[in-house]
Amino acid sequence: MSSVDKKDESGVYQRVVLKNASPYHYMNVCLELEDESTRLSAVELKQFIITGLKSLHGEVGAALPFDVLKYDEDKRTAFLRVYSRGLVKLWCSLTLLGSYQNQACAFRVLQVSPFLLALTGNSRALQLD
């Protein structure tokens, strides 16, 4: 939450509170496939997500702008960036994707944050020596 002090027409300062000042949300997602040996490139992953958006939200959903910032082909994990107003549509379509090339699949949303830096560490996977 952030706040900004603004001066109105009468010269009086007002405090304006913005609940989410970040224009983007970042998602750390993992694609789990029935056949673990199946390989996807970053382009194929993005096309698969667009297909899911289109099947759930139609052509308007398929036009939702999002980016694959980083993708690990071995673990099939990706960092996605989406405008905050499109987060729910993207998340819903990821949740409802159930098959890839005639095999069962599921997206696991590992982390979501309006700040990219927050996704760099995961306290749940912290290994202490």
Residue 84: give its domain's CATH number.
3.30.70.3250
Q: Who contacts 63 (Cβ-Cβ below 8 Å, separation ≥6)?
A: none
| % residues pLDDT > 70 (the chain) | 86
Q: Please report, for residues 54, 62, 69, 100, 115, the alpha-carbon distance to residue 26 in angstroms, rounded to integers and kept in the order given.
A: 21, 18, 9, 23, 7
- What's the token pair of residue 73? 């082909």
72-100 tens-digit pLDDT: 999 999 999 999 999 999 999 999 999 99
- Domain housing 74: 22-119
Per-residue model confidence as pLDDT tens digits over 2-15: 555 566 667 777 77
Indicate the angle between helix axes 87-96 and 42-62, nearest 10 degrees. 120
CA distance 129 to 95: 35
pLDDT value, residue 8? 66
Within a domain: residue 105?
yes
| Per-residue pLDDT at 97 | 94
Please state the domain count of the chain: 1
Task: Answer yes or no: is 87 within a domain.
Answer: yes
The residue among 83, 85, 80 whose CA lies nearest residue 112 is 80
